Amino acid sequence: MITFVLIGCGKIGKRHAEQMVQQGKLIAVCDIVKEHADELALQYNAKAFYCIEDLIANTTLVNVAAICTPNGLHAQHTIFFLNAHYHVLCEKPMALTVADCNKMIEAADRNNKKLFCVKQNRFNPPVAAVKKVIDDLIKFGTVQRGFLGVSFVNASDLNEEEKNKQGIPLSAEGIYVSDVPKDGGAYEAGIRKGDIIKKINGTEISNAAEMQGQISRQKPGDKLPVTYLRNGKEFIATVTLKNKAGNYEIVKAEAVLETLGADFTTLDPRKAKEYGVAGGVIVKKINEGALNDQTRMKDGFIILKVNDKEVKSVDEMKALVGSNKNITISGFYPGYDGVYEYPLSLENQ
């Protein structure tokens, strides 16, 4: 059985104590505020101490010390317990300076003890999404985005008049599915307009940010269980996410660029506003490849759509081209009227 002592009995310390007793036994707690230490000691049948020196002198056979004191004391307390031959679990941040962090690591090495710093933020949706972006860029050269394939509104944010105007039942609350394109993963899994999404991947969803947080960590081809309500009954469907082009392919940036044979850049938002468009991709220079071989496209062309789907960035264009063998690129030349379309076959490129 793993045995613990807890240093710092505030809000975070209490959360540590809850987990400690599930993994082992909490032997002692310590806090300079006597009432805090006494309360936690009574709750978990542990000994209460009010200074770490007394705790060390009066406890034996303890494996791990959890440091949950104020940030500025992490280094001091961690080194103290490492030198007393405890393994240490230190709350974040590890310390306030790199120098102190190095001293903590040196103390762990010198005493042949383990030092672990809490880093649960890696599970938070925004942090997980950023990590996915970095991993995708390293592995594929572009961000892989999986799409559920639904349009939705948060019915909880709408009043009675707004619900009537949009044709949403007055009783609807939560993520109301307003449209389900037939080429999307959700439609194939059986989700339909009027369903109310309650959970994604087992996590309750109540707003758009929570929904996007679950989906943004996935890539095309990933399968997600989606819990939804239909006529008051709960159903679970497994949705296989697609890319923006409507298939399951992973998009590799260099392969797409090499196939088209051009240098691209995302249209600056200020220029987009000047041109009266939502966004686009500039063809900076046409090289050897499909564009040169099959079209009369010129440098400076601004791509607005691929296969009739809007493109606002180079990453979106890569995703839409994907592994498609036949595409149509639509756009315009600044200073000239009209929209130009260029059909392309990438079969033998």
pLDDT tens, residue by residue, 293-318:
999 999 999 999 999 999 999 888 88
Chain region(s) in the chain for CATH 2.30.42.10 = 151-240, 253-345
How many residues appear in the chain?
A: 349
* DSSP 8-state symbol, 64: E
Distance from C-alpha of 3 to C-alpha of 5, rounded to nearest angstrom? 7
3-state secondary structure (DSSP) of residue 85: coil
Q: Note whether 305 and 311 are within 8 A (CB).
A: yes
Distance from C-alpha of 146 to C-alpha of 151, rounded to nearest angstrom? 14
Asked if residue 325 has pLDDT above 70, the reply is: yes
Question: How high is the pLDDT of residue 126?
Answer: 72
Tell me the pTM.
0.47
3-state secondary structure (DSSP) of residue 76: helix
Question: How high is the pLDDT of residue 254?
Answer: 59
Q: Which CATH architecture has domain 2-118?
A: 3-Layer(aba) Sandwich (3.40)
Question: How high is the pLDDT of residue 243?
Answer: 80
More confident residue, 250 or 107: 107
Question: How high is the pLDDT of residue 348?
Answer: 65
Question: How high is the pLDDT of residue 273?
Answer: 94
CATH number (2.40.37.10, 2.130.10.10, 2.30.42.10, 2.60.120.260) of 253-345 reads 2.30.42.10
Asked if residue 287 has pLDDT above 80, the reply is: yes
Question: Which residues neighbour 65 within 8 Å (Cβ) at sequence distance 6 or greater?
Answer: 4, 5, 6, 7, 81, 86, 87, 88, 89
Q: Mean of the per-residue pLDDT values for the chain? A: 90
Chain region(s) in the chain for CATH 3.40.50.720 = 2-118
Q: Note whether 279 and 267 are within 8 A (CB).
A: yes
Question: Which residues neighbour 325 within 8 Å (Cβ) at sequence distance 6 or greater?
Answer: 345, 346, 347
CATH number (2.30.42.10, 1.10.645.10, 3.30.70.370, 3.30.230.10) of 151-240 reads 2.30.42.10
Tens of pLDDT, residue by residue over 157-174, are 999 999 999 999 988 888
Asked if residue 278 has pLDDT above 60, the reply is: yes
CA nearest neighbour of 48 among 11, 6, 16:
6
Tens of pLDDT, residue by residue over 9-42, are 999 999 999 999 999 999 999 999 999 999 999 9
Tens of pLDDT, residue by residue over 174-219, are 899 999 999 899 999 999 999 999 999 998 998 888 888 888 888 8
CA angle 129, 11, 49 (to 5 degrees): 135
**What is the Cα 328 distance to its own chain's centre?**
32
Question: How high is the pLDDT of residue 281?
Answer: 96
Q: Which tokens hold the place of 117? A: 């710093």
